[in-house]
Amino acid sequence: MSYPPMGVIPQTNMQITKLNISGMHCASCANIIERQIKKNTGVKSVSVSFASEKATVTHDESVTVELLTSLVEKAGYKIGKNKNELAQYKKKFIIGAVLSAPLAIAMMIPYPYMEWIGLILATPVQFWLGKNFYSGMWSALRNRTFNMDSLIAIGTTTAYIYSIINLFWQLGPTYFETSALLITFVLLGKWLETRAKGQASQAIQKLMQLQPTIETSVGQIILVKPGEKIPADGIVVSGKSYIDESLLTGESVPVKKDVDDKVIGGTINTTGSFEFRVTASGKNSRLSAIIRLVEEAQSSRAPIQDWADKISSIFVPVVILVAIITFVITGSWMTFVAVIVIACPCALGLATPTAIMVGTGKGALNGILIKGGEPLEKASLINTIVFDKTGTLTEGKPRVTEINGDILQIAASLERHSEHPIASAILKANEKELLNVSDFKALPGTGIEGIINKKKYFFGKHEDRLGLFQNKNLLGTIVVEDAIRETSVKAVNLLRKMGLSVYMLTGDNQKTADKIALSLGITNVIAEVMPEDKAAKIKQLQDAGRRVAMIGDGVNDAPALAQADLGIAMGSGSDVAMEAGGIVLATNDPRNVASALDLAKKTVFKIKSNLFFAMIYNLLGIPVAAMGLLKPEIAGLAMALSSVSVVTNSLLLNLWTKKSYTA
């Protein structure tokens, strides 16, 4: 049975297809699927996440969903989510525990015919409850590799057959309890692991629950009453209220909304009634975009994961070789089994992806959208912060505070054709009728020009003001000020307390820039920078050995965001800036920069501690098992609990809060 993909996203001549995959038991399973899909010449790249159970395939038009489905099934796995997986593992574990309990009792209190009772009870455990391990091993062998299933199948089958031989030929003791308890403990571990992985993806589930169920269309005017969920993205056209955006931004205080303010679908209206005009709904809504971003992030790979996957891919065959050598030296089949079982690299495969899932999910619920494992790692290494000024450290809503000369009407007439934030301030200040403008030109970083009544005017920078010129003659000046965000000073202080160097990058003249920087507590100022030169300034800092995070919101910030080691885009910024940023902040609060970096560092720490634990577990467990100091069934329990411990350690990230806000 085939299932439709999660989504197909066109990219020029290539497509990105996302698939849910069930039946994976370890990181080696993910590698098997990747290798199988890569065999097709139309596939450019493929990434399979064991933790999130998703595959992301970049391919050309020759590769269809049906073809990808057949490739996955050929590898021995299924397309689609197994919604009953948790219940199935629980059921199998309970049955295994019931069948294995008499065998465990017999280890301590022998009773008549215990060997034959062991055969009767262990057989269904071995071949019914454990059949998935055989099918998994067969899938791996068909792809000329080994996986966790291979180790479990080899280990338990060895103990079972050895017991059969000893039972029928009276050659020695039987170990039916070993094979049965091994499978039962592994099933316990898979049950607990699946349960924990489900908790790791709770962020996605919470966001999906926010999605409105009411169908809307762009341009539609909708009345929202107190207590109702806003059914789509839009702009308020009448009325006012306070909106609860906590599940999207992490901010508990409701946000005031008035006429012309934006509202987000899925948020809750708290007090007043208002009408809004729908601007986006369904798959095009802000909430849907956030869900897609988080899904992509949780299915992504961090650079450190490549190292872990390489180890996992060679670990299993090395362990089998070590187990054989151990058997040759000791002559003990049970020691052979213990070595094989204790060495399962499942914990190693879960170490990175589970931490990424929890970290990115926790960020999303706090208004911090991290676009995957790579920006997460980069964020943890940042030592220099570069802020754009307008719309980032300031409100981005300039206002006219001083006018020298009768120039406002002409300046407003020119600015009517501009999209710069200053334009709206000047237009708002003007009360006269606007004049016709011809041959209008926008000169990025300098100003604008046009012809009014057959006279050519230029309106742009003049020292720390804006000046209107005609034939290079100054006709007058206008002072436009942009209020500093209330939280900007606190944000700068937080970042400096974290040991980071803070810069301000702006096109303002040096005098104006220094004045603003002084009020913010910023000592590093890069002023009088043309939009196209911002990226070059970031490059200069990088060449000096700094790891730079650039924070911006405008179209002209996009090249600098892309050049920086890490781009952080403000949520209210342009789509171009948000696309270029590795992290997107849902709110305009610059304090979230500190929170984002703090979360990134803690997530990467969890990844490294998970990897350390997984490696130490194997490095210590294998020698202990090889010396015959560890029973196979205890090795199985330890192996199962190691995976659970790694996932549980990742889940501790759910305790993270924006502590830096009050630092």
Ramachandran category for residue 484: left, alpha or beta (phi over 0 → left; psi -120 to 50 → alpha): beta
Q: What are phi and psi of 600, to 5 degrees?
A: -60, -45
In DSSP notation, 570-632 reads: ETTS-HHHHHH-SEEESSS-THHHHHHHHHHHHHHHHHHHHHHHHHHHHHHHHHHHHTT-S-H
CA distance 74 to 65: 14
Residue carrying structure tokens 């000047």: 426
Structure tokens given for 517: 């920087």
Cα distances (Å, whole numbers) of residue 504 to 416, 549, 640: 29, 12, 51
Cα 105 to chain centroid distance, Å, stands at 47
β-bridge partners, 166:
none
Cα distances (Å, whole numbers) of residue 577 to 19, 360, 384, 494, 629: 29, 20, 19, 24, 59
The string over 426-437, giving b where at least 16 C-beta atoms fall within 10 Å of a residue's C-beta and e elsewhere, is: bbebbeeeeeeb
β-bridge partners, 275:
223, 238
The helix or strand, by DSSP H or E, that contains position 449, with its residue range, turns out to be strand 447-452
CA distance 580 to 476: 39
The string over 612-650, giving b where at least 16 C-beta atoms fall within 10 Å of a residue's C-beta and e elsewhere, is: ebbbebbeebbeebbeeebbbbbbbbbbbbbbbbbbebb
Residue carrying structure tokens 């911090």: 368
In 322-382, which ranges are E strands? Answer: 368-370
CA distance 606 to 350: 12
Contact 196/648 with Cβ under 8 angstroms?
yes
Q: Which of 656, 578, 584, 576 is nearest to 379 (CA)?
A: 584
Q: Check 388, 553, 565, 598 and give the catalytic one.
A: 388
Active site includes 306?
Answer: no
Structure tokens given for 111: 């009773």
Structure tokens given for 396: 């981005």
Contact 596/379 with Cβ under 8 angstroms?
yes
Structure tokens given for 306: 């490549």
- Helices then strands (H, E): number in the chain? 23, 25
Contact 463/471 with Cβ under 8 angstroms?
no
Q: Which residues contact 430 (CB under 8 A, 6 or more apart)?
A: 408, 409, 411, 412
Structure tokens given for 648: 């549980």
Active-site annotation, residues: 388
